[in-house]
């Protein structure tokens, strides 16, 4: 449905040229919700704006619904208004001088998808129903709440039934509770309409909940593409691991390769760790190992003997409602972990921590 090949975009600033997007490739299938996730300044919004046509890329190809909209360094270029995509902006961009109805009707009245007057009313009603804003037609746009503005902006993007919907951090201006509700609602709506969507966000939770596939961007490049679960469970690099969820990352040296289905061993600052190792490694090689805080097992003293068991001190225990987020110190090294709210941990308390071999993931 959408295909982006080797996209490049530089911005010239007073300090010189800044490469915002450096060779981005991806393909979005029809009906898929595709997420561009990354920290601010990673080039995700620029990529989205290039697809919409609001930015002109320096190089690369963009294809929407089998139509080439950008190629040959701009020799083939379809202007924004002809691309026929829907877009929801971070600021919602609701025109304050128009009512809700006029805002939603605008594309049908003046855009290239003009329709007859009678049809306008019908389709605006339909779009407003879709987002749950019936009865708000004559409300002046500035008198709406953030969540309602968000819905108007969505209705306006959907009213001309685009095949592709682009969303630029649409939920980032909402409060936490509303945001959580809207995530679920938005996904259900997009799935119902079977619309192809590219969604930009820096909120990893949003990415995991909403998307079919996620592309993690960093410094203008895509680092990994996969389903939310893939990305979370087996990140390919420290950048991806660090951005999606919390992660303990350790430098490790391969000590012993796995034999007969047994685990291999690596040496880290914590000490020796048993874990699954890919066969392609050789002894003495340096790798990064990763494990999630929620996979660290916390036990009482005295420590049980066994592999991957260490004595640590509680440095910090933060109560976040459902659990404690803890930081342990182990050989002067910090390890993130989680303790259930029923367990009582106090700062300075010695504990036993276990990192089961199957939760340790080797990044290549």
Partner 1 sequence: MDAIPLAFSWLLLSVIIALLAFVLYMTFVPGLPTEPGFTLRHWSNVASSRLLTSVIPNTAIVGFGTIFIGAFFALPLAWLLNRTNLPLRTIFTAIIGIVPVIPGFILAMGWIMLLDERIGLINNALASVLGIPSVALSVKDSPWGIAWVLGLILTAPIFFLIGGPLCRIDPSLEEAASVSGMKHLTVLRRVTLPLVWPGILGGMIYTFMTAVSIFEIPALLGAASGKVPVLASEIFYSVRPGGPITATFAYGAAGVYGTLLAVPSLLALYLYLRVLHQAERYQVITGKGYRSRETDLGAFAWVGVLFVVLYLALAVGLPIFVLVWASLMPVLQMPSREALAKLSFENYHGLLEELGGTDVIWNTVLVMGCVSLLVIFFSFMISWVVVRTRVPSRKTIDMLAMLPHAIPSLAFAFALAMIAILASRWLPWLPLSGTLGIIMIAHLVNRVPYGTRVMNSALGQVHHELEEVAQVCGTRTPTIMRRVVLPLIKPSVVYLAVWTAMLSFQEVTMALFLSGPHNSVLSVSIWGLWEAGSLGTAAAGAVAMVSIMGVLMFAVLKFVGGSATGLVGRGTAVPPPSETR
User: Look-up: residue for tokens 């968000």?
Assistant: 150
User: In the complex with partner 1, which residue's Cβ is closer, 154 or 359?
Assistant: 154
Name the segment binding partner 1 (CB under 8 A); options: 105-113, 180-188, 193-201, 271-279.
105-113
Counting contacts by CB under 8 A, is residue 90 touching partner 1?
yes
Counting contacts by CB under 8 A, is residue 5 touching partner 1?
no
User: In the complex with partner 1, which residue's Cβ is closer, 30 or 112?
Assistant: 112
- Write phi, then psi, for 349 (nearest 5 degrees): -75, 135
Q: Which of 112, 249, 283, 301 binds partner 1 (CB under 8 A)?
A: 112
Counting contacts by CB under 8 A, is residue 140 touching partner 1?
no
How far apart are the C-alpha atoms of 288 and 283, rounded to whole Å? Answer: 14
User: In the complex with partner 1, which residue's Cβ is closer, 171 or 252?
Assistant: 171
Name the segment binding partner 1 (CB under 8 A); options: 61-69, 73-81, 218-226, 236-244.
73-81
- Asked if residue 9 lies in contact with residue 20, where contact means CB atoms within 8 angstroms, the answer is yes
How far apart are the C-alpha atoms of 184 and 269, rounded to whole Å? Answer: 42
Counting contacts by CB under 8 A, is residue 50 touching partner 1?
no
Closest-CA residue to 46 (of 9, 85, 95, 89): 9
Total residues at interface with partner 1 (CB under 8 A)? 30
- Asked if residue 313 lies in contact with residue 348, where contact means CB atoms within 8 angstroms, the answer is yes
In the Cβ-directed half-sphere of 176, how many Cα atoms lie within 13 Å? 1
Considering just the CA atoms, what is the radius of gyration of the chain in Å? 25
How far apart are the C-alpha atoms of 148 and 130, rounded to whole Å? Answer: 13
Counting contacts by CB under 8 A, is residue 310 touching partner 1?
no
Counting contacts by CB under 8 A, is residue 153 touching partner 1?
yes
Q: Which residues bind partner 1 (CB under 8 A)?
A: 52-54, 79-87, 89-91, 93, 95-97, 106-107, 110-113, 153, 156-157, 160, 166
């Amino acid at each position: 449905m959408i295909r982006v090949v080797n996209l490049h975009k530089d911005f010239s600033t007073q300090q010189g040229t800044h490469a915002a997007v450096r060779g981005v490739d991806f393909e979005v299938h029809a009906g898929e919700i595709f997420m561009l996730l990354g920290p601010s300044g990673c080039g995700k919004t620029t990529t989205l704006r290039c697809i919409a046509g609001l930015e002109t890329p320096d190089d690369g190809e963009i294809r929407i619904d089998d139509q080439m909209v950008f190629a040959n360094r701009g020799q083939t270029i379809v202007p924004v208004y002809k691309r026929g995509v829907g877009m929801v902006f971070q600021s919602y961009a609701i025109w304050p001088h128009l009512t809700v109805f006029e805002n939603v009707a605008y594309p049908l009245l003046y855009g290239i998808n003009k329709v007859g007057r009678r049809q306008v009313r019908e389709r605006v009603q339909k779009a407003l129903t879709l987002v749950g804003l019936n009865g708000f037609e004559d409300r002046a746009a500035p008198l709406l709440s953030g969540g309602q503005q968000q819905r108007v902006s969505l209705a306006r993007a959907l009213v001309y039934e685009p095949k592709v919907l682009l969303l630029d951090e649409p939920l980032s201006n909402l409060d936490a509770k509303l945001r959580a509700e809207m995530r679920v609602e938005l996904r259900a709506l997009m799935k119902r309409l079977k619309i192809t969507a590219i969604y930009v966000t820096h909120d990893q939770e949003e990415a995991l909940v909403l998307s079919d596939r996620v592309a993690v961007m960093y410094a203008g490049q895509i680092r990994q593409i996969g389903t939310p679960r893939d990305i979370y469970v087996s990140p390919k690099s420290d950048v991806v691991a660090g951005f999606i969820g919390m992660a303990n990352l350790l430098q490790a040296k391969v000590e012993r390769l796995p034999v007969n289905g047994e685990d291999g061993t690596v040496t880290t600052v914590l000490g020796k760790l048993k874990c699954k190792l890919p066969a392609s490694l050789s002894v003495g090689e340096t790798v990064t190992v990763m494990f999630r805080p929620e996979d660290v097992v916390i036990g009482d003293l005295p420590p049980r003997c066994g592999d991957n068991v260490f004595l640590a001190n509680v440095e910090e225990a933060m109560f976040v409602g459902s659990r404690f987020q803890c930081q342990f110190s182990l050989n002067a090294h910090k390890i993130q972990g989680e303790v259930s709210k029923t367990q009582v941990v106090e700062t300075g308390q010695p504990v036993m921590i276990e990192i089961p071999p199957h939760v340790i993931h080797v990044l290549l």
